[in-house]
Chains A and B, each alone.
Chain A
Amino acid sequence: GAGVSQSPRYKVAKRGQDVALRCDPISGHVSLFWYQQALGQGPEFLTYFQNEAQLDKSGLPSDRFFAERPEGSVSTLKIQRTQQEDSAVYLCASSLNEYSYEQYFGPGTRLTVT
């Protein structure tokens, strides 16, 4: 079946521009996670959704980062006024529910801010 998909796969933005990254989780998956992965590092948690509710946003690095999942399926991570330090791979993962032992990851969006 279809896995987690993310778009775009690659995004180049000029410093100061706004970007929107999309995640399509596996159908029926209640839980959705966003991670940020800098070069050579492991994924760092950004935020967690249970259906449409954003239950944990403790990992968002600044108020320029905003995530939503209005209908409990597709999610968008928005970064306003991008900075060079925002350059990273942004990973989305979904799981059946909060008790699931396995998170299914998408391929990620590589954001480069110039």
Chain B
Amino acid sequence: DAKTTQPPSMDCAEGRAANLPCNHSTISGNEYVYWYRQIHSQGPQYIIHGLKNNETNEMASLIITEDRKSSTLILPHATLRDTAVYYCIVRDTGGYQKVTFGTGTKLQVIP
């Protein structure tokens, strides 16, 4: 069963912030939230992950709600190269765990 729920598609104007939501209402205390993206004809690429604090790296920011039941991936200034499918995943890092990707959100950045 999918552990996350994401909208199937979103549009964003080039240069604007893209905010991609994810619901993970059944997340457990030791599960992290991960984001990957998959550009057309490529393998998925790791973006960011977090447990309960907001995280930022050179690619994106991750905002996790206080109850940890949802999160938002923020691309601060979307470019055409950010057009991709974005996957929100929850997993435990206490050793090996099978990863379930779900169907993700198709983000289309519009010129």
Show the binding face of A for B, using Cβ within 8 Å. 4, 31, 33, 35, 40-45, 48, 50, 55-56, 58-59, 91, 93, 98-99, 101-108
A45–B103 Cα gap in the complex (Å)?
13
- Is B102 touching A42 in the complex (CB atoms < 8 A)? yes
- Is A102 touching B43 in the complex (CB atoms < 8 A)? no
* B contact face: mostly helix, strand, loop, or mixed: loop
The total of Cβ contacts below 8 Å across the A-B interface reads 55
A104–B6 Cα gap in the complex (Å)?
23
- Is A101 touching B96 in the complex (CB atoms < 8 A)? no
Q: Which B residues are in CB contact (< 8 Å) with A91?
A: 43-44
Best-buried of B45, B96, B100 by chain A (most CB within 10 Å) = B96
- Is B93 touching A99 in the complex (CB atoms < 8 A)? yes
Q: Which A residues are in CB contact (< 8 Å) with B43?
A: 4, 91, 93, 105-108
- Is B98 touching A42 in the complex (CB atoms < 8 A)? no
- Is B96 touching A45 in the complex (CB atoms < 8 A)? no
Which chain B residue lies CB-closest to A45? B98
**Candidates A41, A56, A99; contact of B98 at CB < 8 Å:** A56
The 8 A CB mask of B64-101 against A (1 = contact, 0 = none) is 00000000000000000000010100000111101111
- Is B46 touching A102 in the complex (CB atoms < 8 A)? yes
Q: Which B residues are in CB contact (< 8 Å) with A105?
A: 42-45
Contact flag A42-B46 (CB < 8 Å), given A48-B96, A98-B96, A103-B99:
no
